[in-house]
Amino acid sequence: GQLEEVSLPLYFGWFLLSSIQDKVRCTAMDFLKTLDTLEAFKKHLIDFTGKAEKEVDLEEYFEAKGTLHCTTKFCDYGKAEGAKEYAEKPAVKDLYGSAFELSLSALFVTPRTVGARVSLTEEQLLLWPADAEKEAGSASLPLGSRAHVTLGCAEGVEPVQTGLDLLEILALQQEGHQGELIEEMELGSLTYYGEGRWLLTLREPICSSACFSSFYG
């Protein structure tokens, strides 16, 4: 019946506590503010603007996308493949509503999205769908590689893109691309991977309390 059809959420995930959301947003904003002033960034401006001379204000370039979370399973109210199976997993049922500590280990920026990489623990991986990386065509990357928090999207870009952008950077690393080490910033080391892909590996991962739950919208 109708009730059954809406009994699955839009997605399951970890929802960052609101106090830490502000901290994460501020850290990301500070990073964007610094990044677009760097000579190395200006050298590759064309990745973002399509024109070499044009300036870009990264803080305005990206639009925030609601409450900060790390999606585990996108269910699309049951329409997504494997949604029902995921919701019925014992770990999902047992841990629903529990508190976790997420480790945000890097920030990344592309012409499409800005996000934070989440490094999952063994326990957290119990909640990670086995096919999340495969679905995105990155079957050879370790489970959990796609885990991220979307911090913002460029105009017309959907948040699903953030995880795909992260996987793209990790695939380059796996293929042996070291990237170009740009500089050691206060927050960590900044590396450029070409085509507007920037990765800031945080010196100190940001630890964030988060509740495993779901979003209906």
Instruction: Determine contact, residues 14/102, Cβ cutoff 8 Å.
Output: yes
Selected catalytic residue, list 65, 69, 112, 146:
69
Answer yes or no: 69 catalytic. yes
Stretch 104-163 residues interacting with ligand ACK (CB under 6 A) = 150, 159-160, 162-163
Q: How far is the CB of 31 from ligand ACK (least distance, A)?
A: 18
Stretch 45-84 residues interacting with ligand ACK (CB under 6 A) = 71, 74
Selected catalytic residue, list 44, 73, 148, 197:
148
Quick one: which H or E segment has residue 193? none
How distant, in Å, are the alpha carbons of 36, 43, 174, 205 from that of 39? Answer: 8, 6, 28, 26
Quick one: which H or E segment has residue 117? strand 113-119
Instruction: Determine contact, residues 146/166, Cβ cutoff 8 Å.
Output: yes
Residue with Cβ nearer ligand ACK (47 or 135): 135
Write the DSSP symbol of residue 76.
G
Residue with Cβ nearer ligand ACK (185 or 211): 211
> Where do contacts with ligand ACK occur on this chain (CB under 6 A)?
10-11, 71, 74, 150, 159-160, 162-163
Known catalytic residues are: 69, 148
